[in-house]
Structure formats: C-alpha cells, structure tokens
C-alpha cells in the first residue's frame, strides 16, 4: 500500500513538473529572444558601460580617497542609479512593437498575453542582473584589503535583484502605454523616481502621513541591504512586480 501511495505521489510530482515546464516554454522562448536582441543592439553596451563607469567612480572614490574598504556607499547610490538605467533598458520592449506594428502579430500568436509580459519581464530583469555582475570586482577589491561583513553585502545584492525586478516590471508597464520609446522612458523614469523619492519627502509631511514611507522602494531596499531579510520587504517588491505585470496584461488585452 505504501509503495502504491509513494508511486502515485511521485507520479503527481512528475505531472506537476511537466505542467510547469509546458507553461514556462513560451515565456522562456520570449525571454531568450529579448536577451539576444539586447546584445545585438549598441544600447545594451552603452547602458552597461555608463552604469559601470558611474558606480565605479563613486566606489573607488571612497575606496582610495576616503580609505574605506566597504560597499555601503555603492548600495546607497544604487537605487537612484537604477531609477535612471532600468527605464532605458525596458523602454523598447513594447513601445517598439507598437510603433512597428509587430504587436498585432504578437497578439495573434498562440501565446497568452501574460506569458508574453512575463517573458519580457524576465529578459529585462536578467539583463539588469547581468549588468550588476561586474560590480563583484568591487567586492573582490575590499576582500583583498579588508574583512567585510558578508550580511550587508549578500542583502545588498539580493535587494538589488529585487529592485531591478520591480523597476523592470514598472518599465514594461510604461512601455505598454506608448508607441514612442522616449515617452515610455520618461513615464518609467517618473514612476521609478517617484517610488524612490517617497521616503525622502516624508520629513516635509505631517506625522500622520509617516506611513507613506512604507511605499518607497529605497526604504525597503535599505532594510535588506543591512543584511536584515524581512518578508515584508520581499513581499513589497513582489507586489510591485505582480501588480505591474497584471496592469500591463490588461492594457495589452484591451489592444486586442
């Protein structure tokens, strides 16, 4: 009896695994296509180069000028830089499709809208994550000359990936609103910058509005970058991702 129950349990796991594989086939294919498109265009290399130059200047300024072997300054600056970089990465994902008319073909393919959005979301998030990968050189530098606390560093990179995902989802939402990539960039920039700015303007507001800081991306990123992994911060970023994906899906479905 136990053998039969064990066999049925394994069979159900196998069916669930196959179902997940089938469901993710289209999003993965779209993700691979978009990632290839990124690296076939010069904008990817321009964005990566600009990002590394800016972050490198601020990191090595502290490293050599102030003699600080830590990544605190890098993680403090990172959310603001991502508010500028991520909208530039995502602006073309749907705006270009709408402008060129290929969105009509995309919408007639045997793939659901939400899978298309998820595929493009993963492509943008993975691209930004790959953009962050060379900054590990900063980590190697401080390990060589010092003994950094691993908690804040691990938390900082985890927070950076979550922040990249949230901003990517917002950027895709902005891209679905316009056929013009510049307009999509500006809209995405305004939304991302506003989310970053929320907890900065709390000091100018009445105390009864202090709760608004919980809606700021930088507030939750700072918590994680201290090495404190709180489920509330993770849920916050995941909520932005899910809401943005659902809104983008709704907008694109209305275009059908």
pLDDT (tens digit per residue) in 62-80:
666 666 667 777 888 899 9
Q: Does the pLDDT value for residue 18 go beyond 50?
A: no
Q: Span 83-109, mean pLDDT?
A: 82
Cα separation, 132 vs 104, whole angstroms:
34
Q: Indicate the domain borders of the chain.
A: 26-255
pLDDT at residue 104 above 90?
no
Give the model's pLDDT for residue 68.
63
Q: How confident is the model at residue 12 (pLDDT cuts 50, 70, 90)?
A: very low
φ, ψ of residue 198 to 5 degrees: the values are -50, -55
> How far apart (Å, rounded) are the C-alpha atoms in residues 75 and 83?
13
Computed over every residue of the chain, the mean pLDDT equals 82
CA atoms lying within 13 Å on the CB side of residue 176: 26
Which has the higher per-residue pLDDT, 197 or 97?
Answer: 197
* 22-55 pLDDT, tens digit each: 446 778 888 888 888 888 888 788 888 888 888 8
Confidence band for 241, pLDDT divided at 50, 70 and 90: very high
Model's pTM, two decimal places? 0.84
Q: CA 188, 59, 74, 93: dihedral to nearest 10 degrees?
A: 30
């Amino acid at each position: 009896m136990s053998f039969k129950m064990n066999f049925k349990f394994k069979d159900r796991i196998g069916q669930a695994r196959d179902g997940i594989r089938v469901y993710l086939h289209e999003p993965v294919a779209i993700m691979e296509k978009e990632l290839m498109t990124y690296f076939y265009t010069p904008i990817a290399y321009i964005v990566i180069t600009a990002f590394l130059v800016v972050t490198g200047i601020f990191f090595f300024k502290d490293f050599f000028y102030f003699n600080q072997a830590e990544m605190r300054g890098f993680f403090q600056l990172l959310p603001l830089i991502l508010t500028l970089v991520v909208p530039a990465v995502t602006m073309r994902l749907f705006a270009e499709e709408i402008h060129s008319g290929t969105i009509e073909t995309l919408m007639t393919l045997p793939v659901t809208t939400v899978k298309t959005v998820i595929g493009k979301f993963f492509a943008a998030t993975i691209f930004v994550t790959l953009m962050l990968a060379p900054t590990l050189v900063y980590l190697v530098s401080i390990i060589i000359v010092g003994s950094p606390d691993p908690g804040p560093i691990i938390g900082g990179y985890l927070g950076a990936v979550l922040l990249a995902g949230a901003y990517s989802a917002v950027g895709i939402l902005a891209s679905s609103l316009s056929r013009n990539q510049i307009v999509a960039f500006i809209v995405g920039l305004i939304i991302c910058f506003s989310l970053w700015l929320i907890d900065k303007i709390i000091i100018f507001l009445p105390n009864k509005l202090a709760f608004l800081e919980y809606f700021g991306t930088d507030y939750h990123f700072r918590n994680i970058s201290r090495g404190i992994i709180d489920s509330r911060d993770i849920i916050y970023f995941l909520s932005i991702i899910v809401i943005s994906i659902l809104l983008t899906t709704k907008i694109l479905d209305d275009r059908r």
